[in-house]
Amino acid sequence: MIQSVLLMGGLGLIIGGALAFASKLFYVYVDPKVEAITNVLPGANCGGCGLPGCGPNAEAIAAGKASPSSCVAAGPEVAIAIAELMGMSLEAKEPEFARAGCYYGVKDADLKYLYDGINDCRAAAMVFGGMKECNIGCLGLGTCVKACLFGALEIGEYGLPVVDKEKCTGCGACQRICPKNIIRLSSVSMRIMREYTEDKCITPCQRACPTGIDIREYLARIRKGDNSGAVQVIKERNPFPTVIGRICPAPCESECRRQLIDESVGINNLKRFVCDIELNMGRRVLPYKAPETGRKIAVIGGGVEGLSTAFFTARLGHEPTVFEATSTLGGLLRIAISDERLSQEVIDWDIDGILEMGVNVKTGVKVGEDFSVASLLKSGYEAVFTSTGGWDSRLSRGEIAKVSNLFPGGYLMIDLLRNDVQKTKRIPCGRDVVIVGGGTISSEAVRVCREQGADTITVVSRKPSDMKPFDADTLEAMNRNGATIIYESGVTKLIGKDDRLCQVECTNLATGDKIVIDAQTVILASGRFPELVFVKKEISVQDISSHNSSADENDILTQNILSKTEAASPDISAVNKNLPLEWEGVEIYKEPFNKNELGFLSPEDELSGYSAAVVAINGGRRAAATIHKLMYGLPVNDIKKPVTKRSILQGVTCVDNVQIMPKNIMPKYDKKGGESGRGSEIFKGYSSEVAKNEAERCLKCGLICYERTANSALPQVAPNEKSEEIEGKSVVPEAELPVAKQTRRRWYLLPGVD
C-alpha cells in the first residue's frame, strides 16, 4: 500500500515537473492590451476590417496599424471603448461608402472613341502598357459582389456594379478585391483632398479644370433637369461658382473632345446657368460637411484663396476664422474686374455662401500689427494659414510703401532694397540671415544685410553650381561681403519660438538631404510671401511610423483620426502652457508632386499672384488638405503617380458616330443690366431649354470610353449653313441631323463672336 502511494506520488511529481517545464518551454505571451481589445470586439470574424478575424484586428489596433473604429460589424460604442483602452479620444467618424467609378463598357457601345497614337506595338506597350482600346473599364464578372459581406453590391443592367448606400458599411472589401480600381471608398474628406492620379479614368475637361470639378456629372444632372444637384456637384470643389461662371478662362473647354467634331461644350456657360438659378431663387444649395472636430483654424487673408481655404477646412469639420486687413472680403475680385463682367451682388452671394458653411470673419485686423502667427497659435488655433496676396494686393490697399512682415523675421527683397535706396526706415536684420533666390540682384541684398549688422549671410539657390546661376561680378560681390552660397537647394521649413524666427530647413533638390541653418531673418526674392501653414511643433513632428509606407491615398485618409487627450495628463498640459511656443511653417503641397518643386520660389510657385481666380481656389483647397494632414500627423506629399503637365496619358484623336451640334451662343441683354438688376452686366445666360440642349452636346467621355448612348433628335445646323438665333441657339427648322465623318477637323468662331 505504501509502495503504491509512493509510486503514485512520485509519478505525480514527475508529471507535474514535466508539465511545468512544458509550460515554460511552450509559453506564449498574450499582450493584455490585445486581450482587452479582443474582448471588446464582437467576435464576428467577418473580415470586413481587411484582416482575417477579430484577433488579428485587435493586434493591429494595439500596434497602431489599424483604427479603433476599424471593425465594421460593431457600433460606435465599441470604437469608443477601444479608444479608451488605448488612452486616446475618438473624433466622430466620417461615413464612407463604396462608389463605382466606371460609367462605360465595351459591350453594345454605339459611341466609339478611336485611339490614334503610337503605331508600333513595342513603343505602345512601353508607353501605354499596350492599351489600344478601353481596357481599364469594369470587367463585369461580379467578384466585388461576392466579396461584399453585407449585400450592398449588385451587378446592374449594363454589367456595372451598383452600390446600395443604405447597406454599405465602408469596409473596403470590394475596393481591395477589384483588380481595376473601379470600386473606391468615398467620403466628403476624400473628395476634397483627392488629387488626380494616372491610374484613374478622369475626363479631359475635369483634368484641365484647376478646381477639378466633376464636369461630366453636373452636365448629366442638367440634362435630367436636376439643377440643384448640379450646383451641389460644382460646390464640391468650387466655393465661388457664381463668380467663376462669369470670369473663368475655361481651360476645360480647350480640352473638350467635342472639338474633334465641331466646337467645345459651353461648360462654363452651363455652370453659370445653374448657379444663376440658385442666385435668382435666393435659396442656397450647400455642399456636404464632415463631422465637427472642434479644431480651430486661422486663415490670414480674405481674398479668393483665403476664403476658399476657410470653406474647405469648414467642410473638413474644422472651425476656421478669416482675418482680413481691410473692411471687406473678396480681395481683388472687388476692384480688379469690371461690373460688366462681375457685379458686387454676385461676389456677395458667393461669399455669404462660404460664411454660411461655418466660417467666422474678423475684418480690419492686420498681421504684424494687431496680432502675430505666434499669438494665434497661443490663443487656441491649431494651425495658421497665410494668404495675403501679392504685390497687386498691397497696391490696392494703398500699402505700397509699407514694409510687409507676414511671419517673424520674414521680409521681401523688394522692401529691403527699396528702403535702402530711399534711405527710409531700414528692415531690421538679425545676426544670421538667409536670402532665398534673387539671381544677380542677390548681391545687393547681401550688401544691405551686411551693412545692417548681419554676421552670417547664406544665399540659397535652386540651380546647381555648374549652371552658373550667378555671373562673375555677382559672385565676387557676395564673396567680398562674406556670403555663403548653397546650390541646388530649397527652403522647405521655418522653425521658431514665440515671435522669433530661429532656423530654416534647406533640402537638396537632387539628393533630398536636409540641413538646418540658424536664421533670425529670411529675405524672399518674390513679389509675395509663399502660402505657409504654421503649426505647433509638437503637432507637426509626430511619429507617423504607424502608417504603412506602402499605403495608398485612400488607406491613409480612411483611417480614423485619434488624438491624445490633455485630460489624461493634466500635469503635462500645465507644464506645456508655461513653455515657449515652438512652431514650424511649411508650404502647402504643390502640383506637380516632384522633388524638384520642393521649397520656396520653385517654378510651380505663384511668385507674384495667381493667374486666375479659379487657380487660387485650387490653392485654397490644397491649403485645407495640407492643414488637415499636418494637424493629424499624416504625410503631406503622399500622392503616388499624380497627373502632371509631364504625364503621358493615352489620348483620343478621333470620335465616331457623333452628330454635329453647333455650340449655343450666350445671349446678351438688350441694355446693360437688363432684367437681372445686377448693375451693368452684359450677358444674361442660357434659358432652361438652351442649357439642356448644350448639355446634350457632352460626349460623356472618360480617359478612353465606350458607352451605350441614345442620340437626341435636336434641331441642329452644320457650321456652313445659314441659321437664325432663337433664345441664343442656332437652329434650322426641319434640318437633317448630320453625322461627323471627318473627325479631325476643328471649327473656330470668328473674332468678336462669342
Whether 216 and 309 map to the same domain: the answer is: no
Instruction: Residue 282: count other Cβ atoms within 10 Å of its Cβ.
Output: 7
Give the bridge partners for 435, in sequence order: 459, 523
Mapped onto helix, strand or coil, the DSSP state of residue 484 is strand
Please check whether residue 236 lies inside any domain of the structure.
yes
User: Which helix (H) or strand (E) element contains residue 493?
Assistant: strand 489-497
Please check whether residue 146 lies inside any domain of the structure.
no
Whether 689 and 738 map to the same domain: the answer is: yes
DSSP codes, 62-98: HTTSS-TT--TTS-HHHHHHHHHHTTEEEPPPPP-EE
What is the span of the domain harbouring residue 53?
A: 32-90
Whether 243 and 323 map to the same domain: the answer is: no
Whichever domain contains 39, its CATH number is: 1.10.15.40
* pLDDT at res. 545: 33
* pLDDT at res. 691: 94
Rounded distance between C-alpha atoms, residue 629 and residue 626, angstroms: 5
Whether 745 and 597 map to the same domain: the answer is: no
Whether 294 and 400 map to the same domain: the answer is: yes
Give the bridge partners for 362, in sequence order: 323
Please check whether residue 195 lies inside any domain of the structure.
no
Whether 622 and 538 map to the same domain: the answer is: yes
Please check whether residue 103 lies inside any domain of the structure.
no
Rounded distance between C-alpha atoms, residue 26 and residue 32, angstroms: 18
The per-type count for the chain, helices as H runs and strands as E runs, is 26, 25
* pLDDT at res. 112: 63
What are residue 256's phi and psi, to 5 degrees?
-65, 130
Instruction: Residue 468: count other Cβ atoms within 10 Å of its Cβ.
Output: 10
Whether 367 and 272 map to the same domain: the answer is: no
User: Position of cell 514535466?
Assistant: 18
Please check whether residue 392 lies inside any domain of the structure.
yes
Whichever domain contains 240, its CATH number is: 1.10.1060
Rounded distance between C-alpha atoms, residue 411 and residue 515, angstroms: 22
User: Position of cell 466606371?
Assistant: 102
Whether 380 and 393 map to the same domain: the answer is: yes
Please check whether residue 556 lies inside any domain of the structure.
no
User: Which helix (H) or strand (E) element contains residue 615?
Assistant: helix 613-631
Whether 511 and 540 map to the same domain: the answer is: no
Whichever domain contains 497, its CATH number is: 3.50.50.60
Whether 590 and 604 map to the same domain: the answer is: yes
* pLDDT at res. 520: 96
Mean pLDDT by 10 residues, the chain (754 residues): 66 67 56 72 68 74 72 70 66 73 59 60 56 59 87 82 86 84 83 80 85 92 93 95 95 91 94 94 90 94 96 96 94 88 94 96 92 94 91 71 85 89 82 92 93 93 89 91 93 94 94 94 90 80 35 39 37 51 91 71 78 91 94 83 70 79 87 59 89 91 59 33 32 32 30 29
Please check whether residue 367 lies inside any domain of the structure.
yes
Please check whether residue 570 lies inside any domain of the structure.
no
Which is nearest to 625 in space by CA: 290, 325, 369? 290
Whether 36 and 52 map to the same domain: the answer is: yes
Whether 312 and 250 map to the same domain: the answer is: no
- Quote the number of domains for the chain: 5
